[in-house]
Structure 1
Amino acid sequence: MAELIHPEEKIEVSTSVNKPITKIALIGNPNSGKSSLFNQLTGLNQKVGNFPGVTVDKKTGICQLNSHQKVRIIDLPGTYSLYPKSLDEKVIIDLLYNQQSDLYPDLVIVTADASNLKRNLLLFTQLVDLKIPAVLALNMMDVATKEGVKINLEQLQQDLGVPIVPVNARNGSGIAALKIVISQQLQAPKRSFFKIPENLEGLVQQIRQYFDLETDYLAWHFAHQYQNLKFLSETDKGFISNLLQQYEFTSNTLQANETITRYTQINELLLDSVRVEKADNNEKFSNRLDQILTHKVWGYLIFFTVLFMMFQAIFAWATYPMDLIDAGVTGVNAFIQERFDGPLISLLTEGVIAGLGGILIFIPQIAILFAFIAILEETGYMARVTFMMDKIMRKFGLNGKSIVPLISGVACAVPAVMAARNIDNWKDRMITIFVTPLMSCSARIPVYTVLIALVVPEKYYLGFLNLQGMVLMGLYLLGFVAAVLSAWVMKIILKTRERSYFIMEFPVYKMPRWKNVGLTIIEKVKAFVFEAGKVIIAISVILWVMASYGPGERMAQVEQTVQQQARQNNWTQEETNIRLSSEKLESSYAGVFGHAIEPVIRPLGFDWKIGIALLTSFAAREVFVGTMSTIYSVGDSENIKTIKEKLMTEKDDAGNPFFTPARAFSLLIFYVFAMQCMSTLAVVYRETKSWRWPVMQLIYMSGLAYVCSFIVYQIFK
């Protein structure tokens, strides 16, 4: 074992007033447990930002090593090599190759899957040659043991020349030992794994001297990747480009030769420290399970069944908690209105509480949706879905990696669009970004559930198939079909010679870590409620003002006219209040605005009230329910009703129910296709660096929604 410095020696240095906090980069292959290790080290002391100049997420956190020492952990994107293929991976080289960066690490923790050391050590040997102090966190030792892999840690540590700490990032074992090791003042590794070819030593030395670099291997990477290094000036890049032409530098061939050389050394090294003992029938459980779950027939049926169960659960399991929330909001409103009166009370109950209640009631459904997605990711099944869908996706101009943004779009289009940066091919990436908003996100659930509950009876078939749940799934499938068909059209329109390849590694199946699932649910629901809540409250207040006041003396004149009609027709007080409420709403600023756009949306079956909701929901789709709740609550303080009941009692000009199946389905279809989200347009602009793509999305999706909604209404009315 390598000699360790006692932690107390480090404490004296690290607590110096002038010494900045130590920065530690956490890096490793995908599915090596890096994210779990980051959570173990930082707990809740973490935040998400962006790396400078790019839109890639930067997760950093504070780790308390001991009572006197803290360090900052930087969670880098997963990568197999220091030769990047995706946008996420490119931020790694910008960070590790720029010693002037504020985020340049003092130490690197490399996570490695103990059951697959050969693949994991390729990245590790590259990092060692950069001569950054390093620690190897050997994760998944329990998996390695089950697979018959025995590792001589003392021999491996001696061969690699860096401290090795076995950990289990899932249950936290080994974390204390890792903290002790990284609290030491570790030196840069002395061993090198790659030697620069003799005919290129002159090239490397000139680059090293020109940029004042510490190692030959760093200069070697400058030669390979100067075009990707954002911190280099055009003059610097020109200098390297001229050198490469002079030395006839062939990057792809040299990268391949380097990889072969490294794997040769890794194989020799592992012969001394790793022994694999397999039983006769020691076929991995994951492989046996994959024969079923990724089967060319059964795999798709199982995936469809999983989706079907998820959408059934959104309706069936969420009923009781939704009823409790609904009763609670209604009770609070009734309590306040029975005891207080005045404009401020009306603002609170009819504006703030009515609007916010329209979003709180959907927390159970959102939580169930995110729970399913988190479990699919935790178990490793989501990776299999990506693999299965690759062959199908390619026919429509996408690839297997596109299924991750598309499925993520079921939760929210914003992170889903950002997830598309893992797609290497430009054309596939642009198509994926363009069509992802057509997937029905969680913000559409409030609209879907309210309208479905209005016109679809709550019937069960075979004792467990909920008709409302089947309709909901149909809407989601409709969005998916629209997405892939739109992708197919774009595949024909966009011309490029670039070809894409799909390579990924399956993680082993494992039980989900329920703590991670729970944290994901809490985090996503909290973001949904608070981020949407800010918009909803603001819009609800504005709507209340617009619906309660009108231009000039119109509101006073309306009240005078209605009172006169009431005396002439001998209306009861309740009839008078209802008519007064309706007339005031139509004469208000909201009514004037709604009437102005009504001719445009009338062919879809919509009136001026729905028109107001459509426009306000452009800020966020879920605002639609809050808007309708606010509009139908105004002036109705003596009769507190749920949004569903308010819509059911709404009448058209002939006195018939307004929300007929034709009108409700027309509105549902409109929301399936419409780009009703400013946040999505903003993130598309940020990811594409151009307004062309979000503007095209807005025009295309709005036009598609209008046409399809028009067809549905004309057929069913």
Structure 2
Amino acid sequence: MQRSYTIALVGNPNSGKSSLFNALTGLNQKVGNFPGVTVDKKTGISKISDTLSASIIDLPGTYSLYPKSADEQVTYEVLLDQKNADRPDLIVVIADASNLKRNLLFCSQIMDLKIPVVIALTMMDIANQKGITIDTTGMERMMGVPVIPINPRRNKGLARLKKTISDVAENRPASLPDFIDIISITGEWLADIRTLCEQDSNYAALHLACNYAELKHLNAATRIQVAALLGENKFNKGKIQAEEIMMRYKKIDTIMQQCTVTDSPMKRMVVSDRIDKVLLHPVYGNVILLVVLFILFQSIFWLAKYPMDWIQESFAYIGTAISGVMPAGLLQDLIVNGLLAGMSGIAVFVPQIMILFGFITILEDSGYMARISFLTDRIMRSAGLNGRSVMPLISGMACAVPAIMAARTIQNAKERLITIMVTPLMSCSARLPVYTMLIALVIPSKRVWGFINMQGLVLMGLYLLGFVMALIVSKVMDLIIKTKTRSYFLMELPVYRAPRWKNVGITMLEKGKIFIRDVGKVIIVLSLILWALAAFGPPAQMKKVDEKYTTLIQQHPEQTETLQHEQATERLEHSFAGMMGKGIEPAIKPLGYDWKIGIALITSFAAREVFVGTMATLYSVGDVSNGTQTLEEKMQAARRDDGTPVYTLAAGLSLLIFYVFAMQCMSTLAIVKRETRSWKYPAIQFAYMFALAYGCAFIVFHIFK
């Protein structure tokens, strides 16, 4: 019989913690939030042995038990609050063998909390490249806890790690040794704090003494008593913390001397160092970054073209087949022009979404994504930010919601706020279907110099435009928001590694499924609502239109097809959807948009990609071909009342610019409210982005008109 057990994975950033989590849990994962905070809580289930099933919690990465950000504060609370629902039965500390001394500091702090610990040594291959040999048996003896070398990317050492975890779980030691004697630093009064706060270890009591005012699980009465005890004993927080760190490093130095051997005093230059000399070069590095982005956006058009064409042709064929089998009427119209049109608006862009996330996963898995932060740190600082802002901005290329949540790692409050306010200017994957559809309409599919796809070049330009505008707005906000605090940017670069292609494939499939499942539901529902609004209208007006064209068809039977098309168009204009679009048309006409585009702008506030489903429904309802044309062909054929095309170069570019800058996402506004704990900032964000979008779209339309 299996029993439940909770294991926490902790470690420094870039130590291999996420790789171990993925290796242990596979696809049995879920992501939520820790109670009361917007910090990711990654959990999963792992079968450790025949009798032990463990719940694995991937705690946010931290360098020590003294928190400096919201992420680190979460780890701190979970480990110190003995009543926390996520407090583990066992902790696996992931330690980077190539930076062992710094990692052992954190390990020693965790050990002194008196929770059973297993140390998992990663990056052993990198340590070997640096000429470092580690005696894991000797280290295990001196540390007093199991030490297991692992390589989670290649599933090496995992069986031994699971066996060790199972042994520790079955035979929990009655008492756990102290790494250092905390009482010798503080004095006997710390025992009173430990008793008052009901802690298992002296070290946990020391942390409560240092941070009692910030720890949420302590009540007011306990805080008052702790403060009184500290006052009586003239507690000097900084002095004791310094003595603690020095005592730990003294013991760690002894362990390092006895358990590690370095070939030479000079560390060998590993492959990553040699690559960084090129990729982090102030000139070559930025050129290479632009080339990487160029390849990414060219591939989105080049690779996705074939499956997209196949999907479009398939839906057109299905629409024609259904129209040939079912009798003409309301039900056929609902299925072909409502349901099928909405589904095609989802499916056709899945290949591009998958390719985008596949490339992003390759960049992250290879270690290159972290280098982008360093390359752009100087640019970030000129705009009032720092390199830490780059990761949320880059993440915004996938989705603004988790990207804004990622800004919590920025310690400076001003920089964090500015990052949150400008991140939605980065073009997320939700904009990709809109971009690709409009680019295909107004930008010719020709090649420059024989190999550069013009459409891919425009797509790259749109992404870069969002990034440049984010920097400009950041600079403006930096001048407006005053603060005296200074920030710094420290980040450890992971080593370069070959991407795990299985992981890339799984991510692409998962993102495709999420797009179909989550976004698809919204698009389908809105498509059906729009079909109803576009198919029905005030009975008197709709009856008048039908009677008019019935008479005309009887009088001119040779023009039946033309008259039926005109009837469908006029019915659409007099429908509820048409009335709504005509109502806002005066406001958007200066941008070059017609009333159908106006409806799409309104519906896409729920989610930007709904624009595509809206257009698919509106043009299907207004068309009598019943699925024989693709959406792109229908939009290319769209004409205004004066016979001019709706989607001219000026109108298409204006609409592209509008979607680059506009805040068309309710979910993003909701997460900004959660992160800032105020409706003021989402309101400001919506207002400035709408004004920016409208103004720039107006200028672009009239320049190209």
> TM class, shorter-chain normalised?
over 0.9
AA at the equivalent of 2:153: R
Distance 1:296 1:635, change over 3 A: closer
Distance 1:343 1:373, change over 3 A: same
Structure 1 position 453, deviation (Å): 1.2
Please say if residues 55 and 686 of structure 1, whose CA atoms lie closer than 8 Å, have aligned partners that are also in contact. yes
AA at the equivalent of 1:381: Y
Q: Deviations over 1:620-675 (max 9, x none)?
A: 10110110110000153435211111111011121121211111111111111100
1:229 aligns with 2:212: no
Counterpart among 309, 313, 330 of residue 299 in structure 2: 313
1:679 aligns with 2:667: yes
- Output the CA distance in 2 between the equivalents of 1:484 and 1:242: 49
Structure 1 position 680, deviation (Å): 0.8
Please say if residues 534 and 572 of structure 2, whose CA atoms lie closer than 8 Å, have aligned partners that are also in contact. yes
Match in the other structure for 1:522? 509
Secondary structure in structure 1 of the residue aligned to 2:483: coil
Match in the other structure for 2:14? 31
* Alignment of structure 1 residues 200-239 onto 2, 5 Å: 200-239=186-225
AA at the equivalent of 2:315: V
Match in the other structure for 1:10? none
- Output the CA distance in 2 between the equivalents of 1:255 and 1:291: 37
1:40 aligns with 2:23: yes
Match in the other structure for 1:354? 341
- Output the CA distance in 2 between the equivalents of 1:571 and 1:685: 61
Q: Deviations over 1:161-192 (max 9, x none)?
A: 01111211111111111111111223277332
Counterpart among 467, 485, 489 of residue 498 in structure 1: 485
Distance 1:388 1:248, change over 3 A: farther
Please say if residues 90 and 228 of structure 1, whose CA atoms lie closer than 8 Å, have aligned partners that are also in contact. no
Please say if residues 132 and 188 of structure 1, whose CA atoms lie closer than 8 Å, have aligned partners that are also in contact. no
Counterpart among 54, 60, 77 of residue 71 in structure 1: 54
- Output the CA distance in 2 between the equivalents of 1:75 and 1:280: 35
Secondary structure in structure 1 of the residue aligned to 2:682: helix
Structure 1 position 245, deviation (Å): 4.2
Match in the other structure for 2:374? 387
- Output the CA distance in 2 between the equivalents of 1:503 and 1:84: 15
Q: Deviations over 1:397-452 (max 9, x none)?
A: 11101111111111111111111111111111110010000011111111111111
Match in the other structure for 2:108? 125
Match in the other structure for 2:280? 294
Match in the other structure for 2:575? 588
Please say if residues 638 and 646 of structure 2, whose CA atoms lie closer than 8 Å, have aligned partners that are also in contact. yes
AA at the equivalent of 2:250: T
- Output the CA distance in 2 between the equivalents of 1:595 and 1:520: 43
Q: Deviations over 1:251-306 (max 9, x none)?
A: 34443442233222211111001111259893211111111110111111111111
- Output the CA distance in 2 between the equivalents of 1:660 and 1:403: 36
Please say if residues 160 and 191 of structure 1, whose CA atoms lie closer than 8 Å, have aligned partners that are also in contact. no
| Identity, % of aligned positions | 52
Counterpart among 172, 185, 202 of residue 186 in structure 1: 172
Any stretches of 5+ residues in structure 1 without a counterpart? 1-13
Secondary structure in structure 2 of the residue aligned to 1:295: coil
Match in the other structure for 1:692? 680
Counterpart among 442, 446, 460 of residue 429 in structure 2: 442
AA at the equivalent of 1:677: C
Please say if residues 5 and 52 of structure 2, whose CA atoms lie closer than 8 Å, have aligned partners that are also in contact. no
Match in the other structure for 2:5? 22
Q: Deviations over 1:339-367 (max 9, x none)?
A: 11332232122112111211211111111
More divergent stretch after superposition (568-577 vs 89-98): 568-577
Distance 1:256 1:305, change over 3 A: farther
AA at the equivalent of 2:610: V
Distance 1:267 1:680, change over 3 A: same
Counterpart among 311, 315, 325 of residue 311 in structure 2: 325
1:54 aligns with 2:37: yes
Q: CA RMSD in A?
A: 1.8
Match in the other structure for 1:334? 320
Distance 1:50 1:388, change over 3 A: same
1:142 aligns with 2:125: yes
Structure 1 position 206, deviation (Å): 2.7
Distance 1:635 1:221, change over 3 A: same
Structure 1 position 50, deviation (Å): 1.3
Structure 1 position 140, deviation (Å): 2.4
Structure 1 position 570, deviation (Å): 5.6
Distance 1:713 1:332, change over 3 A: same
AA at the equivalent of 2:148: V
- Output the CA distance in 2 between the equivalents of 1:108 and 1:175: 15
Distance 1:167 1:691, change over 3 A: same
Structure 1 position 238, deviation (Å): 3.1
AA at the equivalent of 1:227: A
Structure 1 position 470, deviation (Å): 1.0
Q: Deviations over 1:194-224 (max 9, x none)?
A: 3336573254233212112221111100012
Please say if residues 337 and 637 of structure 1, whose CA atoms lie closer than 8 Å, have aligned partners that are also in contact. no
AA at the equivalent of 1:514: W
More divergent stretch after superposition (637-646 vs 464-473): 637-646
1:486 aligns with 2:473: yes
AA at the equivalent of 1:175: L
Counterpart among 633, 639, 657 of residue 645 in structure 1: 633
Q: Deviations over 1:44-96 (max 9, x none)?
A: 22221211111111111111122232111111111111111111111111111
Match in the other structure for 1:539? 526
Please say if residues 563 and 576 of structure 1, whose CA atoms lie closer than 8 Å, have aligned partners that are also in contact. no
AA at the equivalent of 2:584: I
Match in the other structure for 1:563? 550
Please say if residues 564 and 624 of structure 2, whose CA atoms lie closer than 8 Å, have aligned partners that are also in contact. no
Please say if residues 359 and 446 of structure 1, whose CA atoms lie closer than 8 Å, have aligned partners that are also in contact. no
- Output the CA distance in 2 between the equivalents of 1:620 and 1:126: 45
Distance 1:329 1:443, change over 3 A: same
Q: Deviations over 1:306-360 (max 9, x none)?
A: 1111111111111111111111121222211111133223212211211121121
* Alignment of structure 1 residues 165-176 onto 2, 5 Å: 165-176=148-159
- Output the CA distance in 2 between the equivalents of 1:230 and 1:204: 20
1:714 aligns with 2:697: no
Structure 1 position 575, deviation (Å): 0.6
- Output the CA distance in 2 between the equivalents of 1:241 and 1:488: 43
- Output the CA distance in 1 between the equivalents of 2:109 and 2:153: 27
AA at the equivalent of 1:208: R
Please say if residues 38 and 75 of structure 1, whose CA atoms lie closer than 8 Å, have aligned partners that are also in contact. yes
* Alignment of structure 1 residues 396-411 onto 2, 5 Å: 396-411=383-398
- Output the CA distance in 1 between the equivalents of 2:559 and 2:239: 90
Match in the other structure for 2:249? 263
More divergent stretch after superposition (126-135 vs 341-350): 341-350
- Output the CA distance in 2 between the equivalents of 1:300 and 1:675: 29
Match in the other structure for 1:666? 654
Please say if residues 226 and 240 of structure 1, whose CA atoms lie closer than 8 Å, have aligned partners that are also in contact. yes
Please say if residues 133 and 188 of structure 1, whose CA atoms lie closer than 8 Å, have aligned partners that are also in contact. no
Counterpart among 595, 600, 604 of residue 617 in structure 1: 604
- Output the CA distance in 2 between the equivalents of 1:82 and 1:263: 15
Any stretches of 5+ residues in structure 2 without a counterpart? none
Please say if residues 12 and 63 of structure 2, whose CA atoms lie closer than 8 Å, have aligned partners that are also in contact. yes
- Output the CA distance in 2 between the equivalents of 1:259 and 1:670: 54
Please say if residues 147 and 284 of structure 1, whose CA atoms lie closer than 8 Å, have aligned partners that are also in contact. yes
